[in-house]
Amino acid sequence: MTQRGVALWFLVSFVSFVSIVVSASSAVQQVPVFRGGVDLVSLGVTVTDDKGRLVTDLTAEDFDVAEDGKKQSITDFAAGRGQPGRSPALHLGLLLDVSESMGEGIDFTKTAAIRFLNAFREAVDITVVDFDTDVRVARYSQREFARVVERIRQQKARGWTALYDAIAVYVDGAAGQDGRKIMLLYTDGGDTTSAIRYRELLDLLKASDVTVYVIGRFERQTPSGPNQQRLTLQEMSDITGGQAFFPTSVRDLGAAYDTVLAQIDAQYLLGYQSTNTRTDGAWRKVEINVVKRGGGNYRLRSRKGYFAPYKKP
């Protein structure tokens, strides 16, 4: 087994030891499924033009995908906007930092989270992860919106900040879901008590197909300082094809939400079966380009690669 393979095996095993509470909910609405599995590489992709405008009219033929420099054939394709019948199930993860470091910012977090949910009703289910010293998880169906809101409203700031553990627990749980997986994190960015280390968490995020968006608050600071916290949150979102926002006003928050909602709505989902059949757990670099007729300059947000599956010889 490669060093990376060992690390990923450890990370998957690790989450079972984190202190969590999981509650089941009713069956979710049936929607078209974007099939998953270790043989299918799934990539969420957001495309903007040279003026920063979202590009929403692309087809599978407009994308070129290469893995470690070798061209791959797209076998699965779905567009988020304008083709509801083809859109795969969308699973939302809502992660709420309710630790003592949030202080009065906890009220901002609760209001912001509820506001986002009121504007976003497309998810077939919502996984709420609230965390302080411990990590608590509950998954709700689309029809249980009132229960989600009530759970958020009951939160109080307390304890230390197990930020990395919370993300690891959510990502591990999302691995069994087919379709698009969007994680929205509210936090002040400072981890103080997690068992998992930051670099280990990055490996776990790289191995997942979750797109991470972050709403960061920095009224209070950890010893590492706000700049390092920002860089940490930006790195976690960037490697998954998401984005981090740091609103300082209600107006800024509204603009951040508009951007997140628009990106989710315009996200493409590409899938291919790798021509590399080795099961060595190695990192594989993925490059995606737009080859639309007529040319143009495009910027793409997506994950940069993935870890190959591992099978013991």
The per-residue pLDDT for range 78-103, each reduced to its tens digit, is 987 545 446 788 999 999 999 998 88
pTM for the model stands at: 0.85
- Contact residues for 120 (Cβ-Cβ < 8 A; gap 6+): 92, 261, 264
CA distance 276 to 87: 28
The per-residue pLDDT for range 116-165, each reduced to its tens digit, is 998 888 899 999 999 999 999 999 998 999 999 999 999 999 999 999 99
CA distance 154 to 156: 7
Backbone angles phi, psi at 189, to 5 degrees: 85, -5
Cβ neighbours around 205 below 10 Å, total = 21
pLDDT, mean of residues 280-291: 95
Asked whether the predicted pLDDT for residue 68 surpasses 90, the reply is: yes
CA distance 158 to 98: 6
The per-residue pLDDT for range 111-130, each reduced to its tens digit, is 889 989 988 888 999 999 99
What tokens were used for 5?
Answer: 């393979």
CA distance 87 to 212: 19
**Cross-strand pairs, 36:** none
What tokens were used for 53?
Answer: 């405008």
Domains and CATH numbers, the chain: 3-30+87-265 (3.40.50.410), 40-83+267-307 (2.60.40)
